[in-house]
Amino acid sequence: MKLYQRTIRDLHQMLVDREISSVELTDAVFNQIDAVGDKTKAYLLVTRDLALRQAKAADERLRAKRDVRPLTGIPIALKDVLCVKDVASTAGSKILRGFIPPYSATVVERLEREGAVFLGKTNCDEFAMGSSNENSGYRPVHNPWALDRVPGGSSGGSAASVASGEAIAALGSDTGGSIRQPAALTGIVGMKPTYGRVSRYGLIAFASSLDQIGPMTRDVADGALLLQAIAGHDPRDSTSSSRPVPDYLATLTDGVKGMRLGVPKEYFVAGMEPAVEHSIRDAIRLLEQQGASIEEVSLPHSDVALPAYYIIAPAEASSNLARYDGTRYGFQAGGGRNIIEEYMKTRQEGFGAEVKRRIMLGTYALSSGYYDAYYLQAQKVRTLIIEDFRAAFTKVDALLGATSPTAAFELGAKTQDPVAMYLNDIITIPANLGNVCGISVPCGIVDGLPIGLQVIAPGFAEEIALRVAYAFEAATEFHRARSPLMGAAA
């Protein structure tokens, strides 16, 4: 098996045993980036010099057996919405071209303390707005399983990097499904923690009440390790929770025997591909065979989650993105006859079509005369969705369903129909609005394309979601499947 095909845990042991060095491992991953990077377009920036410096420092720690941690020497990719000090960070947008942050995100600092190696900044939908990674301000990302297909979005670059062997693991961000959906479409594991579990300091904001950073990995145990490293209170983020972070590996192997698992009837949506539904129902039966009791439940307001999200998120985006005017940092169009004209030219040329669409939607929803009719109503719907989850979790320990209603679709298939594109998020969005946690784990392959099972657990119960996902993973081989670009294990 090639080094870039292995898990974090395997590589950690090899590093500790001095079978390999972090420099050798990092070189192996960069060789894979050189081999397939032009096909996937997973990276916007490769930080080769930084990575090799960090790898050498990790080797010194390993050699001296000093403060060696599970991620020491492990090459990790970072979504381009995460600030890294002195490294260009654009959020996939031309309006931030040339922006060099003077600070790092908290999650980046925590990975640095672990001794991780940063491979570069992964491509993403502009300001994390998209479900296919076709909204990048630079170039679309291609799915390593089929290059004519999307990898999902907005963390498509992070997903593609892990699925193609261009990273051992990656961080993404999830506002309405942007970790879980691309994980499902590329055959990897992706987790959205509860809002507040992971600091958002240094995350370039899309929708501040919904954004959350999470791990994207080859398997569930790697996801638990990466989450362990980045979770916890941060005084620089006022929305960060002070709740203690449990040991996510401690209960990972406890199994599902005796657990109550719910299946929301609303999550088998119209338009779901038959192959997806078949794989999900097979996965549910398998967990039942392992000793879980399965119960149908209802989340009655699921049908209004999508319209509520597409009012709340654009409203927050219109406010967050008002700061990009070309006068302080990033792109400046130039040629304006006055400051107002300069603002308009910069934003017109710097933002892509989808970002403009959402800014206009959000500004309209917040405008005088429409605030009560749209934004306030959407917030009331959000409260109802929170109550739906609360009621469901009095009956069951976790919820099961598909991550995406379809497998990866062809590039360009939905770019002319925004509503069709938005419908890809119909099963993932409720978890963001309801402030619960969710994980996607591979559960099938149909016509050469992966399918993901979504496990949703109560807020701050990530260990439950991880435990159910691990139990399913341990009983199947889907997580061992490799994309054609990753290659079969030798």
Catalytic annotation on 154? Answer: yes
Contact 55, 26 (CB under 8 A): yes
Catalytic annotation on 178? Answer: yes
Counts of helices then strands in the chain (DSSP H, E): 15, 11
Among 408, 134, 471, residue whose Cα is nearest residue 273: 408
Structure tokens at 224: 């638990």
> Which residue do the tokens 């001794």 mark?
115
Residue 215: enclosing H or E segment and its boundaries?
strand 212-217
Residue 121: enclosing H or E segment and its boundaries?
strand 117-122
Among 66, 56, 74, residue whose Cα is nearest residue 9: 74
- Three-state SS for 238? coil
Q: Using CA atoms, how far apart are residues 200 and 107, in angstroms rounded to an integer?
A: 8
CA angle 93, 346, 78 (to 5 degrees): 15
Set 21, 132, 154, 241: catalytic member:
154
Count CB atoms within 10 A of the CB of residue 376.
13
Buried b (16+ CB within 10 A) or exposed e, 85-118: eebbbbbbbbbbeebebeebbbbbbbbbebbbbb
Contact 3, 11 (CB under 8 A): yes
Set 21, 22, 41, 79: catalytic member:
79
3-state helix, strand, coil in the chain (%, to 5): 40, 15, 40
Set 104, 158, 164, 178: catalytic member:
178
C-alpha 480 chain-centroid distance: 20
Q: Using CA atoms, how far apart are residues 218 and 162, in angstroms rounded to an integer?
A: 7
Contact 2, 487 (CB under 8 A): yes
Q: Using CA atoms, how far apart are residues 352 and 91, in angstroms rounded to an integer?
A: 12
Burial class (CB in 10 A: 0-12, 13-18, 19+), 254: middle
Structure tokens at 309: 């999200």
Residues assigned a catalytic role: 79, 154, 178
